[in-house]
Amino acid sequence: MSPPEPSPVRVPGFATQVFQIAAKDLRIEWKSHEILLTMGYLAVVIVLAFAFAFVTVGGERLSPSVTSGILWVSVFFSGTVALSRTFDRERDGEAIRALLLTPIARSAIYLGKLIGVVVLMGIVEVVVVPLTAMFFSAELGQHLLWTALILGLGNLGYAAVGVVFSAALLRSKSRDVLLSALLFPLVLPVLIAGARATSILLDPKSPDLASAVFWTQFLGISGGIFVLLGLWAFEPVLSGD
């Protein structure tokens, strides 16, 4: 009875690790649709609540900054559903424990989760953006690529912070309350820049594209900073105790 030679550790490449994590999350979602449905429903309800609160009987158009604000607020609030459910799925059946014991890098888990959340938020936006445009007669379709770019960068900055906190709160009882309380003040720059950029695009006259470019760059830079900080902070936060 001789002890077996330890099997050589084969660690998959970093990109593969990230891909596997993200693909796994999306695959689970593809089977259940749970996050997309609850998140999309919540986003639509928020938009509707604002519609009832703001739209007058006369049917005057809301100012672009109000419309874009409504859109971004609904994106932010519904985003918490994706953040907390995606980590609930790690906790179910203690899958996270098995995952943490595989030789993959913690930062790959972070990036994989980040991609998963960004994609889910994007899919919900595909529904919510046209709906907002319809409810408030806003011309969101005019600059489709711009809008997509701005929303995508906004999702990235938002999720970059959110994934860290959601992971840190994995075993906390008051997680859902704390998540929004901690997350929203931190992602305020993303909200400001995103809402500004969208409202510029909504300007019915000639949109001030130079400003839109500035805000898009701002979103890109703050998203980048948040991702870097997230990569840095995720490992110690996840190691717990």
Partner 1 sequence: MSERFGAAVDTAVWQFRICRYHSSTMATEHAPARSSGLGLPWLAAVAVCILGFAYLPQMVVGAPIERTMGPVQKIFYYHVPCAWLLMMSTFVCAGGSIAFLFKGSQRGDRVARTSAELAVLFGICTLVTGPLWGRVAWGAYWVWDARLTSSLLLWLIMVAYVMARRFGGSASRKLAASLAIFAAADVPLVYLSVHIWKTIHPKTTVVPTLGRDMMGVFFTSLGLFTLLWVVLFVLRGHLEKARDDLDTLALDVEDHLEAWEKSAR
Partner 2 sequence: MSLSLNAVCKNYGRHRALYRITAEFPAGRISVVLGPNGAGKSTLMGILSTLVAPTTGTATWQGQPLAPGTPLRAQIGYVGHEPGLYPDLGARANLILFASLYGLHLAPTALAARLKAVGLAEDLEGRLELPVRAFSRGMQQRLALARALLHDPSLLLFDEPSAALDPTGAVWLAEHLRQAREAGRTVIVITHDLGLAASLADRILLLRRGRVAIDRTLETPLPEAALRTLYEETLSVPA
Residue 182 contact, options partner 2, partner 1, none, Cβ 5-8 Å cut-off depending on partner type: partner 1
118 or 231: whose CB is closer to partner 1? 231
Residues 6+ positions from 154 with CB-CB distance below 8 Å: 72, 75, 190, 191, 193, 194, 219, 223
Question: Pattern of binders to partner 1 over 177-196, x per CB under 8 A?
Answer: -x--xx--xx-xx--xx--x
Lookup result for tokens 């703050």: 222
Instruction: Using the Cα atoms of residue 36, residue 49, residue 54 and residue 159 in order, give the sign of their dihedral.
Output: negative
Footprint (CB under 8 A) of partner 1, residues 196-225: 196, 214, 218, 222, 225
119 or 197: whose CB is closer to partner 1? 197
Span interacting with partner 1, options 91-99, 108-116, 198-206, 232-240, rule CB under 8 A: 232-240
Number of H helices, E strands in the chain: 9, 0
Which of 2, 7, 174, 206 forms a contact with partner 1 (CB under 8 A)? 174
Which of 46, 75, 156, 164 forms a contact with partner 1 (CB under 8 A)? 164
The closest of 99, 96, 50 to 72, measured between CA atoms, is 50
